Amino acid sequence: MDYLKKGFSMAKEGAVAAAEKTKAGVEGAAAKTKEGVMYVGNKTKDGMVAGVNTVSQRTTDQANIVGDATVAGANELSQQTVEGMENAAVNSGLVNQVNLSRDAEKHIMFL
């Protein structure tokens, strides 16, 4: 009978040891899983922030390009308008071409 007690006791100790190791293994696996999920979450968040920053920078760049083109177009249009007005004034006889050239030189000197 003693050998049965001793055998069952050993089996019980083995089962307890296995259960403790299993519990520790499961806890370790859970910790590693949590660590992996957090890592993926952080990298995804970092990627999203980088993506938003890239889109924002590209939008700003495009807005600057459009703004520069608008200013250049407005400058060109105003220059053509001035030239058209000068031509109309000369052609209508309101202004003499020589006087117009002198006035232009005066304005250039002030700039």
Sign of the alpha-carbon torsion through 43, 45, 46, 50: positive
Whole-number pLDDT of residue 109: 45
Distance (Å, rounded) from C-alpha 12 to C-alpha 14? 5
10-34 pLDDT, tens digit per residue, is 777 777 777 777 777 778 777 788 8
- CB distance 50 to 57 below 8 Å: no
**How many helices and strands, by DSSP H and E, does the chain display?**
2, 0
Burial category of 86 from C-beta neighbours within 10 Å (exposed 0-12, middle 13-18, buried 19 and up): middle
For residue 105, pLDDT beyond 70: no
Report whether 89 contacts 100 (CB < 8 A).
yes
Q: Is the model's pTM score more than 0.75?
A: no
The DSSP call for residue 94 is S
